Copies of this chain bind each other. A is one copy, B any other.
């Protein structure tokens, strides 16, 4: 089973690294895609290498898309190849996970209208304006889309995501 992390420079370091390590602990293969292949720098200075560009990544190769927060989502949401990739995951009903500012990419891809979701409290108004049923919970699951608010929600988020991956009816 494989996970695609979609991010860019300015990612929230723990929101990328802790789930990356957690997925690897579970034996999953994890790729990282970004606007340009190569080294990315997080808000707190950690370096992560994107082994794929957005245009190289293909949803067929993965069961899960994970979008961490930080400043990266504001860049991603303006890029047609990022939004196309999100829609490809959505069209094949794969698991899509986003935390913090990550749900903004889902809004721009047009897949969050009418759905229950959460995100960093500062983006709550934008989510509501985009027709999202915003819920101030640590994790919100609406069918194949799982969202979360902030780094300290990661324990609850990862528990939910791993349980979903292990569910007998997944994917």
Q: A154 to B45, Cβ gap below 8 A? A: no
Q: A14 to B158, Cβ gap below 8 A? A: no
A155 CB within 8 Å of chain B: yes
Kindly identify, within residues 54 to 74 of chain A, every residue whose CB is under 8 Å from any CB belonging to chain B. none
B residues in contact with A25, CB < 8 Å: 22, 154-156, 158-159
Copy number in this complex? 2
Whole-angstrom distance between the Cβ of A1 and the nearest chain B Cβ? 15
Q: B14 to A155, Cβ gap below 8 A? A: no
> What does DSSP make chain A's interface, helix, strand, loop or mixed?
helix
Rounded to whole angstroms, the CA-CA distance of A22 and B21 in the bound complex is: 10
Whole-angstrom distance between the Cβ of A9 and the nearest chain B Cβ? 16
Chain A interface residue number, banded = 10 to 19
Given A13-B14, A44-B46, check contact A22 B155 (CB 8 Å): yes
Q: B14 to A18, Cβ gap below 8 A? A: yes
B residues in contact with A130, CB < 8 Å: none
Binding site for B on A (CB under 8 A): 13-14, 17-18, 21-22, 24-25, 44-46, 151-152, 154-156, 158-159
List, sorted by A's number, 17 A–B pairs whose CB atoms are closer than 8 Å: A13-B13, A13-B14, A14-B17, A14-B18, A14-B21, A14-B46, A18-B18, A18-B21, A18-B22, A21-B151, A21-B158, A22-B158, A25-B158, A25-B159, A44-B45, A44-B46, A45-B45
